[in-house]
């Protein structure tokens, strides 16, 4: 029985994935210029889920041309900020009305549990669009008093304008396909930019369905173009395109560095939200009834496929055994299965490639002397499942401690002196996130000040809000997503000076 006719599948989703999905260019759904398609897979079964138009350089050229024309000559620039804001808000309303449908699409294409997609991914995307809709009317310049020493007696009116950067190429990952599309599209649209969006080849379906809603909401042709395809072809062409004014990328640090090189041709603006190897620090005075399940969630949420996952667990020695065993017990109790099963707590990894990558790290860790007290293996003989894993007997120099695994694998290490933990926690090429668990609020804030990370959670983990900026230090990226900080990524400042006397 094909997945499209399964009684479990939402009927609109079954209809959506039954036909080859096209790309959105200049307000129309079109086939790839080459005529090629590529398959996207259901990670719970390994079977083909849908066929999608395979964008390439020529498709990117056409999409950028449409975005450029929409920015330079179309009605988008003539709209008031209020009109843009209302369109973004309408998109949020439409997305909210289709929560069930998008939940199924995310679960089928990415593997995450349906209930989580409906409770977290879709509502967070809706909230992001509404938050950014509000910013559309609040992007302001300022006036500047001048004191020019070489023109005594002259008077000037000087002010700044915040203007959209122009055509933006956006490349998003597969771990939160819909939410990452919202994170990128929301601020770009609020500031008046036009967009060419390239979704991850593993998970293109929710972005394509969102394209339907963008057209239904009434966005002008060419303002949002969506070109699925592979990173090496479509993504590379977008990052290097001379008529793109800015590229925004979320993904691995390795690919982020390639994006930077590709963008050098016309010195386009670049923002990057990259990898992490985030330290999660539990002190002996923490409320362990909160810290233990919180530390488990820090690594096992979204199957560990989070750039900010709390993958390095540091526990003060006197409570180390209790905390680590608690996290291991939580790992053993997690029900792994298809995202469509209502009892599933953790679905499959997104692809066979990702499963093999994670299993390769497990093999490396065990060969270097680590011990798995929970998990440690691939799960099942169908689909891309990996057991939630807790590794102990780990050392700072091990591959599993230093490198981002991007799977449900935590490495646990004790510490004895609170003074030692800051240099150990900061001993990473990454600096995306960190967490501290303690009842001593003074100690918590001192730790937060010293940790080299873009987000520090205290007595919680994985708390996101559209108003709170998110991004990394060091090799975890450039710039911030969300909050008012993100507006800086999509605007540029123009100074205007007029002599008035």
Q: Is 273 a catalytic residue?
A: yes
Which of 106, 201, 221, 273 is catalytic? The answer is 273
Q: Which of 193, 307, 308, 359 is catalytic?
A: 307
- Separation CA 132–CA 35 (nearest Å): 36
DSSP 54: -
Q: Is 307 a catalytic residue?
A: yes
Identify the H or E element spanning 208. Answer: helix 205-217
- Nearest CA to 184 out of 130, 278, 247 is that of 247
Are 327 and 295 a contacting pair, CB within 8 Å?
Answer: yes
The DSSP secondary structure of 319-357, one letter per residue, reads: HHHHHHHHHHHHHHH--B--TTSTT-SB---S-HHHHHH
Instruction: Kindly report the number of other CB atoms within 10 A of residue 35's CB atom.
Output: 8
Angle, alpha carbons 492-229-358 (nearest 5°): 100
Residues 6+ apart with CB under 8 A from 225: 23, 24, 25, 26, 63, 64, 66, 67, 195, 196, 197
Distance CA 8, CA 340 (A): 7
The angle at the Cα of 351, spanning 23 to 9, to the nearest 5 degrees, equals 65
**Per the structure block, which two tokens stand in for 327?**
């996290």
Tell me which long-range contacts 371-380 makes (C-beta under 8 A, separation of at least 24).
Answer: 373/324, 373/325, 373/328, 374/327, 374/328, 374/329, 374/331, 374/332, 375/331, 375/332, 375/408, 375/409, 379/336, 380/336
Element (H, E) at 7: none
DSSP β-ladder status, 269-273 and 477-478 = antiparallel
Per DSSP bridges, beta strands 194-198 and 167-171 are parallel
- 459 vs 451: CA distance, rounded Å: 15
CA pair distance 221, 185, nearest whole angstrom: 15
Say what angle helices 418-425 and 441-450 make with each other, to 10 degrees.
30
List, in order, residues 6 or more apart from 342 with CB less than 8 Å away.
Answer: 114, 115
Q: Any idea which residues carry the catalytic annotation?
A: 273, 307
């Amino acid at each position: 029985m094909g997945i499209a006719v399964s009684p479990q599948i939402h009927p609109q989703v079954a209809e959506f994935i039954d036909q080859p999905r096209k790309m959105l260019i200049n307000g129309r759904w079109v086939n790839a210029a080459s005529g090629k398609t590529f398959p996207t897979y259901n990670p719970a079964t390994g079977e083909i889920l849908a066929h999608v138009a395979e964008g390439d350089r020529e498709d990117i050229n056409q999409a950028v041309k449409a975005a450029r024309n929409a920015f330079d000559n179309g009605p988008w620039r003539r709209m008031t900020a209020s009109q843009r804001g209302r369109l973004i808000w309408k998109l949020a309303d439409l997305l909210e009305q289709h929560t069930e449908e998008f939940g199924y699409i995310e679960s089928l294409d990415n593997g995450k549990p349906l209930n989580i997609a409906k409770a977290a991914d879709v509502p967070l995307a809706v909230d992001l669009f509404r938050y950014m809709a509000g910013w559309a009317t609040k992007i302001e310049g300022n006036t500047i008093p001048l004191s020019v020493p070489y023109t005594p007696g002259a008077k000037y009116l000087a002010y700044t304008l915040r203007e959209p950067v122009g055509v933006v190429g956006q490349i998003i990952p597969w771990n939160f396909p819909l939410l990452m599309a919202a994170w990128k599209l929301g601020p770009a649209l609020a500031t008046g930019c036009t967009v060419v969006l390239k979704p991850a080849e593993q998970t293109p379906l929710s972005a394509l369905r969102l394209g339907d809603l963008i057209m239904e909401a009434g966005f002008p042709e060419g303002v949002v173009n969506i070109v699925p395809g592979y990173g090496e072809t479509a993504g590379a062409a977008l990052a290097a395109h001379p008529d793109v004014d800015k590229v925004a990328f979320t993904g691995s640090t390795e690919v982020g560095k390639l994006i930077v090189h590709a963008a050098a041709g016309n010195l386009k603006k670049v923002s990057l939200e990259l990898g992490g190897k985030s330290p999660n620090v539990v002190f002996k005075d923490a409320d362990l009834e909160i810290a233990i399940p919180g530390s488990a969630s820090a690594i096992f949420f979204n199957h560990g496929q989070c750039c900010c996952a709390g993958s390095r667990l540091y526990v003060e020695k006197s409570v180390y055994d209790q905390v680590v065993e608690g996290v291991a017990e939580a790992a053993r109790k997690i029900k792994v299965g298809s995202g469509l099963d209502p009892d599933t707590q953790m679905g499959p990894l997104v692809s066979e490639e990702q499963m093999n990558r994670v299993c390769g790290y497990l093999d490396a860790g065990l060969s270097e002397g680590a011990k798995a007290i929970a998990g440690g293996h691939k799960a099942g003989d169908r689909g891309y499942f990996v057991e939630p894993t807790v590794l102990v007997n780990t050392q700072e120099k091990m591959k599993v401690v230093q490198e981002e695994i991007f799977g449900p694998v935590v490495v646990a290490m004790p510490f004895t002196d609170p003074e030692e933990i800051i240099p150990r926690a900061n001993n990473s090429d990454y600096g995306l996130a960190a967490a501290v668990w303690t009842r001593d609020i003074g100690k918590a804030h001192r730790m937060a000040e010293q940790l080299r990370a873009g987000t520090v959670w205290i007595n919680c983990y994985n708390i996101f809000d559209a108003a709170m900026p998110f991004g990394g230090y060091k090799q975890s990226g450039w710039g911030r997503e969300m909050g008012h900080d993100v507006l800086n990524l999509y605007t540029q400042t123009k100074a205007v000076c007029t002599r008035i006397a």
